[in-house]
Structure 1
């Protein structure tokens, strides 16, 4: 049943993504094809290499924590785990399937679920912290531009930022403050239960208290292993810079009028897409990502926007699905252990 569900999700991604790209191209199909015929192969290769390095840094971040629980944990194993997580995140709503797959893979690699859950939680702490700081700086530096040029999109991005900020603040505060933990579980949660957003108050309360307890333990680990913390945060900083830079490289590849002086503008615009994606329950945020991209990068011209959208989406999303799906399916360690 799970495999059937994944196939359905992949079909949804392909259909919605394909329709969205088709609608963005509209009557400009011939011009877009011509743009790709005139594209610089060199920049497309650079784009692919840079994007592949994103997955290497993702694996490196996972490796630092993996070695804390299994000293002979290898980079190859962490790469298999990280890219497989990318695949399952990409085909499930709200990127909800990646961690379950990674716990499964960790177990096959010799790290039991109790430890792998701790690893993934620490990875989340580092990633979410860097994301909030990174996007917060972008919003402050580009505030005037976004307010004047993209007020509607800016409002959604601000909301996305505050949701991410509230998540990490609530986790840190709940882990550090017993009073705040009680407020979250006994006041906020009870209110959500009364308005029928939370179905089972008692069970949800237990789960949140357990999660905050686990979070507290992982914070202690990170405080004792600051070198690992710093390295993981640096990896996440590089990852975000890479993923946000993809539209810039796409514009370069398609001979659009773009200079290195606008590199940080492209980072800021693309960061907005990922902030808004947090609201979209469709696997891979298909449809929404393409729509927001068209709004934000309309200054590239109709043909430039459509052609760069196709290249950006393939490199930043579909390439990871392809690599992740192949690695998960063909990796001997995972496949052999399935047969045992």
Structure 2
């Protein structure tokens, strides 16, 4: 059943990618394809691997957090986790599958499931907080100008509010865990009455366990100021890499962008991220590309479609492919390693 769901998600991604390519190319496909074909090959390679660099940088966060639970945890292990998370987040609706797969691989890397869950909570909290501060600054710098230029900014504002509510809920949850547990009980009872939950007691137990794990990790991470600062700085680098990519694509396509327009590109890219917040499709496929094209149209001109195609392939499709290969290789490696250890133990027992 899980394999069927995964195949269905892949099919949705492929169909939406085809639809988006048609949308991007339908009016001036010759101009867009000519612009891409005339690019310097070295620039093209760098752009297509930019998303890989962004994901590798994420691995440094797992190195910092992983060392709290396993002193031998390596940067390579962290990079594997970042690619696995990117892959499963990219193929599941609303990025719901990433953390489960990451916890599975972390267990194979020597981090207990409970510790892995705490680590992933810490990563999520630090990332969300850093991103919201980063994007809020960009909103203050550029929102008034661009909101006057496009009627689509209401979507971005809704996305921003969703992210703000999520981070606010996380922190109030940490401050008032008992209140949230009581609220959870009430919610579970209501959902059970309308037959949306089959086993209310099991659901409540699971929610309470997650809540306890989350509040414990908030307290633990708040004491480790050095790790918070290091991970926050890494996340600022990650976000800057991600948001600035369209600027460098534009330059490679000979779009006359001025250096001071870098901040406009970073702001618009962050607004695309905000708009993605409520697209419950694997990888936010379809909606991401449309929003990107609408927001960047006035800045990138007639070759906006070319910028969007290169940006999306770099930050999503290529990373998704590498993430899938990484997961398959990691799973195979750790399973073989586990069997090898079992065989050694068995031989020692026989002796």
Q: TM-score, normalised by structure 1?
A: 0.91
Tell me, yes or no, if the aligned pair for 2:90 and 2:320 is still in contact at 8 Å: yes
Q: Which moved more, 1:45-54 or 1:122-131?
A: 45-54
User: Structure 1 residues 192 and 257, CA, compared in 2 at 3 Å: closer, same or farther?
Assistant: farther
Q: 1:165-186 deviations in whole A, cap 9, x for unaligned? A: 1112112112212575367436
User: What are the equivalent positions in structure 2 for 1:154-165 lying under 5 Å apart?
Assistant: 154-165=153-164
Over the residues paired in the alignment, what is the CA RMSD in angstroms?
2.5
Distance 1:100 1:159 in 2: 28
Distance 2:190 2:300 in 1: 46
Tell me, yes or no, if the aligned pair for 1:171 and 1:212 is still in contact at 8 Å: no
Aligned partner of residue 131 in structure 2, secondary structure: helix
Deviation at 1:195, TM superposition (A): 10
Q: Is 1:176 the counterpart of 2:165 in the alignment?
A: no
2:133 aligned residue? 133
Structure 1 stretches lacking a partner, 5+ long: none
2:78 aligned residue? 78
1:121 aligned residue? 121
Tell me, yes or no, if the aligned pair for 1:246 and 1:316 is still in contact at 8 Å: no
Aligned partner of residue 142 in structure 1, secondary structure: helix
Distance 2:259 2:195 in 1: 47
Distance 1:302 1:269 in 2: 15
User: Structure 1 residues 32 and 272, CA, compared in 2 at 3 Å: closer, same or farther?
Assistant: same
User: What are the equivalent positions in structure 2 for 1:133-282 lying under 5 Å apart?
Assistant: 133-150=133-150, 152-178=151-177, 180-181=179-180, 184-185=183-184, 189=187, 193=191, 199=197, 204-282=203-281
Q: Is 1:22 the counterpart of 2:22 in the alignment?
A: yes
Aligned partner of residue 68 in structure 2, secondary structure: helix
1:333 aligned residue? 333
Tell me, yes or no, if the aligned pair for 2:181 and 2:208 is still in contact at 8 Å: no
Q: TM-score, normalised by structure 2?
A: 0.88
User: Structure 1 residues 122 and 87, CA, compared in 2 at 3 Å: closer, same or farther?
Assistant: same
Aligned pair count reads: 338
Deviation at 1:133, TM superposition (A): 0.9
Distance 1:306 1:196 in 2: 46
Deviation at 1:116, TM superposition (A): 0.7
Aligned partner of residue 327 in structure 1, secondary structure: helix
Q: Is 1:63 the counterpart of 2:83 in the alignment?
A: no
Deviation at 1:7, TM superposition (A): 2.6
Tell me, yes or no, if the aligned pair for 1:41 and 1:253 is still in contact at 8 Å: no
User: Structure 1 residues 338 and 257, CA, compared in 2 at 3 Å: closer, same or farther?
Assistant: farther
User: Structure 1 residues 192 and 239, CA, compared in 2 at 3 Å: closer, same or farther?
Assistant: farther
Larger Rg: 2
Deviation at 1:5, TM superposition (A): 2.6
Distance 1:197 1:308 in 2: 47
Structure 2 stretches lacking a partner, 5+ long: 341-351
Q: 1:303-324 deviations in whole A, cap 9, x for unaligned? A: 3111111101101111111211
